[in-house]
Amino acid sequence: MPFQIMLGREASASLIMRALTIAGLSAAVAAAMAVAFIAWRTAQPALPPRSAPSAVAQATSSDQPPFITLDAPRPLPPLTFVNGDGAAMTLADFHGRIVLLNVWATWCVPCRKEMPALDRLQGKLDAADFAVVPLSIDHRGRDAVERFYRELGLTSLRIYLDPSGNAPYAINAFGMPTTLLIDRDGRELGRMIGAAQWDDAAMVSRIKGYQGT
């Protein structure tokens, strides 16, 4: 057999072996990533099923995302953030009040759409018994949020900042805005993913029901 043909076959065999090795490594990496993702997802608090319509979802208008209620209040992981003055806070600082925790950012278009409704909602309800906590994950910090508030004319909402950007992961939020309704003991009652008209009559009535008023 000519020497050149032998070399060609050896080169082809080498290329085939190399391709098989790369394919095997790729498959192993993919499998490892899949296992890691499953382990991470399992460790997250489970979201309630979207398929079960809730009383809140039935009370909101059809053009809004559903409000997903929980069968029982669910404890939340610790959340640390700061207020507009830079003071450290947690959800425990709102103990005794019904809280609407809204995770948002100034660059989020749906967030911009719903923020005026949240501002009006806070203005309608007694701040001593109910608090909207709009938690910004903006890396640009307080200045960006203050400009945003001025642009939209927001006057009832206070400023809360999550400089770490960890809040979406802590509460298992997979979209923005994500809003959690929290009871007086700091437990989640339900959530909504997406922009909503928070100050509509049905939603205000529902929140007053949780307040017991």
38 and 65 in a single domain? The answer is: no
**Which domain, by its residues, includes 72?**
55-211
Q: Let me know whether 158 and 78 are in one domain.
A: yes
pTM equals 0.71
pLDDT in tens, 98-122: 999 999 999 999 999 999 999 999 9
Q: Are residues 180 and 83 in the same domain?
A: yes
The number of folded domains in the chain is 2
Quick: pLDDT tens for 171-190.
998 889 999 999 999 999 99
Same domain membership, residue 107 and residue 33: no
Measured distance CA(210)–CA(55) in Å, rounded: 13
166 in helix, strand or coil? Answer: coil
Residue 110 in any domain: the answer is yes
25 plus 59 within the same structural domain: no
Residues 174, 203: one domain? yes
Task: Report, as an integer, the average pLDDT of 79-83.
Answer: 95
User: Strands 98-104, 160-161: parallel, antiparallel or unpaired by DSSP?
Assistant: unpaired
Tell me, yes or no, whether 48 lies in a domain.
no
